[in-house]
Amino acid sequence: MTRHWGAEAGWLQSHISSCPRCQRRLVSLGKVNLALSLMKARPHSLSLLMRANEQAIGVLKHGLRAEPQAARLKTTLPEPKLVERCGRYGHSVGHLAACVTVLLLMKIGVFSSMDTFQTEGQEIMRQYYARQVGQDLAEDVFPAQTKQSSSGNPRGVANV
């Protein structure tokens, strides 16, 4: 969808390369986005929140100014948001979640069940071949399976 209708679409790119009006529009849009990014990227001083709080508290009623919360606000420094703080641990958390999921799947027996399904499927195929083309050829096609099944048949699948 994005490949055909997004900004990266080939027909759009080729049109822009040949249309001066669209080029001008694209340049001016880029300029606005650049200016917005510059505005966002420019940091303020660390003490600005503290000073703003102090100035704002200064015009409130005397009783409010004397509150302990007001005193705390006068010394507050901006803190990064929880998402920003946790952002750098994102990859580690992802890896850990993947490991826990695999362990959980092993614990509840999903992998062993899958293994059992596969084994039983192969056994059925071997029996089919044995019935259709003979035991010798079936043993040639499924040699390992034959050995395994001869050593023990855990699910009780009947041999022909």
Partner 1 sequence: MFSKALSCELLWDAAVSGVVVGRQRWILSTMQKYGPELVTMLWRILGNEQDVCDAYQDTFLQLAHFEGGRKPDHVKAYVFRTANNIAVSMLRRRMAERNRLSGPIARTEATASPAIEVDSEYLQEALRRRIAKLPEHLRNVLALRDLAELSYAQVGRILGISPGTARVYRCKAIQLLAMWMSKEE
Q: Residue 56 Cβ, how far from partner 1 at the closest point, in Å?
A: 4
Spell out the SS3 assignment of 19-53: CHHHHHHHHHHHHHHHHHHHHHHCCCCCCHHHHHH
Give the C-alpha separation, 131 to 146, whole Å: 14
85 binds partner 1 (CB under 8 A): no
Q: Which of 20, 63, 152, 156 binds partner 1 (CB under 8 A)?
A: 63
Of 11-19, 68-76, 91-99, 126-134: span binding partner 1 (CB under 8 A): 68-76
Do residues 22 and 28 make contact, with C-beta atoms less than 8 angstroms apart? no
Please report whether residue 124 would count as binding partner 1 according to CB under 8 A.
no
Q: Which of 9, 12, 16, 49 binds partner 1 (CB under 8 A)?
A: 49
Residue 126, burial from CB neighbour count under 10 angstroms (0-12, 13-18, 19+): buried
Q: Which residues bind partner 1 (CB under 8 A)?
A: 24-25, 27-29, 31-36, 38-40, 42, 44-45, 48-49, 51-53, 55-64, 67, 69-70, 72-73, 76, 78-79
